[in-house]
Amino acid sequence: MIEQKIREIAKDLLSKKTVDLVIGFGEGTLPLRVTPRFIRSPEKVDRLIWNSFCENNLATYVHKFSRFKLGLVVKGCDARSVIALSLEKRFQPGQIFMIGVPCQRMVDRRKVSRAVKGDILQAREEGDLLYVKGDGFEVSLKRNDFLYSSCQACTHRNPTRADVMVGDPVEELPLKEPYHEAKEFEKMSPEERWKFFEKETSRCIRCYACREACPMCYCSECFVDSSNPKWIEKSFSPSDLQFYHIVRAYHQTGRCSGCGACERACPMEIRLGYLTQKLNQDVKELFKFETGIGSEAPPPLSTFEIADKQDFIK
């Protein structure tokens, strides 16, 4: 079982002092939630778990714990983020020990809570079914009906690189339509797209959770916090909210692994995934680059080809 293996590997790493700490997932305080767990001693590895709610991208901690040797539990998307960070030289070679876990795709807790009436008090997972219990109801749900949209768009569920793999690789399911969210929006008219973007961003409370959850947002001073030059006002005017979201997404060009952590972190449930998905689609189409797949190619915006497309330039 995956959970057991993760614990064994973590125990081994910690007792041999290969790493200073192992970051994995632990039981959350609420049903359908797990929390990142930081294990420093081999006795405590039993706190690590693995289930369908291990949604966080733990690569975020790579630069938050830059002075430690880390053992990191990574899914396919997290591994891609770690590789992208290594291309940007965010850690020393050998500093990160990746414990790769083939991902069964994660369950969207919001979709689950919307499917039932009332608060969920208990949840349990067995095979392909979720048993959800609450005040006056008890239902079983098929987990595959409640997957995150980012997970539905996933083409790399197996970590592309890992120091040790837990369990057997899963079969990569071919997608009916890659980048389905971006494609859906491309069919709309610019007016409709703008209206949608305007409506979504108008809910933003500027908590910057999307930025904090993202492993690629590590600037020591974010453009929103900079006062000289002051790119953006600290206001809630629609234009400033749009500005933040445009630039936050655009800064992910060629760096986003499509893990969907930004969208999941948003307390206002703003649709953010389609923006970075569009960028990923463009980068793949224009520069044949996919984040975290090949670990040699430099980030696409830091390099060029003489033959790059330029039909839009007069």
Partner 1 sequence: METNWEPKILAFLCNWCSYAGADLAGTSRIQYSPNIRVIRVPCSGRINPLFILKALQSGIDGVLVSGCHPGDCHYISGNYIGRRKSTTLKRFVEFLGIEEGRVQFSWVSAAEGGKFSQVVDGVTQDIKKLGPIKRFVKKQN
Q: Which residues bind partner 1 (CB under 8 A)?
A: 182, 185-186, 190-198, 223, 231, 237, 239-240, 242-243, 246-247, 249-250, 253-254, 275, 278-279, 282-283, 286-287, 300-306, 308-310, 312-314
Nearer to partner 1, 266 or 283 (CB): 283
Residue closer to partner 1 (CB basis): 172 or 233: 233
Smaller CB separation from partner 1, 177 or 186: 186
Whole-number Å distance between alpha carbons of 245 and 134: 36
How many CB atoms lie under 10 A from the CB of residue 184?
12
CB of 267 to partner 1, least distance (A): 23
**How far is Cα 286 from Cα 282, in angstroms, rounded to an integer?**
6
Shorter beta-carbon distance to partner 1: residue 149 or 242: 242
Closest approach of partner 1 to the CB of residue 255, in Å:
11
Please report how close the Cβ of residue 291 comes to partner 1 at its closest, in angstroms: 14
The closest of 64, 126, 118 to 96, measured between CA atoms, is 64
Which is nearer to partner 1, 173 or 246 (by Cβ)?
246
Residue with tokens 């703008």, as numbered in its chain? 194
Counting Cα atoms < 13 Å in the Cβ hemisphere of 175 gives 14
Q: Cβ distance 273 to 260 under 8 Å?
A: yes
229: preceding bond cis by omega (within 30 degrees): yes
Between 172 and 184, CB nearer to partner 1: 184
Minimum Å gap between C-beta 225 and partner 1 is 14
Smallest gap from Cβ 284 to partner 1, in A, equals 12
Q: Is 213 exposed, middle or buried (0-12, 13-18, 19+ CB in 10 A)?
A: buried
Cβ proximity of 150 and 160 under 8 Å: no
Q: What angle (nearest 5°) sits at the alpha carbon of residue 83, between those of residues 13 and 282? A: 155
* Dist. CA 186–CA 183, nearest whole Å: 5
Q: In terms of CB distance, is 124 or 288 closer to partner 1?
A: 288
Closest CA to 33 of 121, 165, 138, 117: 121
Min CB(181)–partner 1 separation in Å: 12
Q: Measured between alpha carbons, how far is 49 from 106 in angstroms, rounded to an integer?
A: 14
User: 79 Cβ partners below 8 Å, 6+ apart?
Assistant: 98, 100, 159, 160, 161, 162, 292
Q: How far is the CB of 299 from partner 1 (least distance, A)?
A: 10
Residue among 109 and 255 whose Cβ is closer to partner 1: 255
Instruction: Kindly state the smallest distance separating residue 229's Cβ from partner 1, in Å.
Output: 9
